[in-house]
Chain A
């Protein structure tokens, strides 16, 4: 019994923690279990659907759990991929460029701008910052047409840049980074400046490592955003279109492709989940040892 309690405690923290009661831990454990079942529903459904044979997909009333699991849907999907309009690898390269460029670029550009907003005092600072925060409150539906006009005017229509450049300036990323950077103690930056470091160097060697949980989280948001983009508004050439577009074309094929589209849904969800887990496990490791604050 004592041993059981010990392993149970290990689930929470490696050592015994301050101010934690066993009863409280048990209560939280049960609460998380019950809520977790409801929250996990879509994951369970997507995974089960991908494994269902056609007759079970069309079964009425629908069942959540699969009875005769099969990998048929995935082999169907591969067959469809092989006779796509342009080679399927082309779509994958496009997605890597668009999603990768949009995510890495946004994290860098937004962090770089967030640093002076959080830690420097320059004329015009508060105006710029409130513009960024307020801009998030304007409905993007009506700005789409002006946006389209501006992208045509810049002659980056039908180009990767039409998707990548607007993604670099989302207000949320800058706001998130700025909020985290504010927490870094000034003394830490000041000592680096006394050592003769330039502002850019301070940003890269001190600020960014200290806000690792923030930019990993931002990368998750941005990856999801870019991954879901079909680019159909700006990209006309088939050879430029991302994976998401090709996959949705397969899904649009109707009843005969229901199996393949279940596999597509699984695949579309799986990639961001893998990315999420890779980033999230790092978020949770970073700060455990450092005591950077005053």
Chain B
């Protein structure tokens, strides 16, 4: 009932609109016929004035909002990292798992003394960075709280594959206290959490100059790093040539270690990347196959229509043609 009444009302509206359109059409035609009688000067003045107002409004807008105000100095902004040709960032490339293994070694031997990696369990290292036995052996090196026992006491047990990597400090306050007030950030998602991602972290790790440029002010307890916004960073340079002995005997130069650990941290931030790229490849394959099939099916369905021939045979006319 309601629907029917609605329909009726819309129909009424439509008829009203039609009549209105007709009315305006009629009015427009009558007015245009009237204006041709007027002087063309007045029309041109109106157009010129409208154009002037339009141009003026644009000019006013750019006067108000056009120039960008740079409130930050380059020092405060920090040096933007250079773009490095990371192989694992290409569309059809995976992580180099040998590099991940080296990077995990660098994390464990260098970074882990200050930075936590609290979102990574040992089980996720299995098959990507370590073998199952290696990961189990690594997990048992640390102790974790058990469930409360019969007396309600919480005891310590050796770690299992399901445990998460241990943090170097008990909490953020302890971390700040130990590091002169500066909090070493958790590295689980750090590649996603910083502008420039891999390039930024690589540049930051390797970009400490021998000495700050002349006249640069470095705060107490801070180190000069051009890539860090404000250039004063609490973390000192940690990677030095030959700091780590790689098990595959790669020469452990500073940029090599930085590259490996950055790739490892990228894996930590997006462990699904290899699978994601494979899935993208699958989708490309499936959609291209379906696209090809659809074209063939279309050709098949349209074959009759495309190949038909319409012939008109005029009736035989015995009379002479007239011109």
A binds B: no
Q: Which residues of A line the B interface, CB within 8 A?
A: none
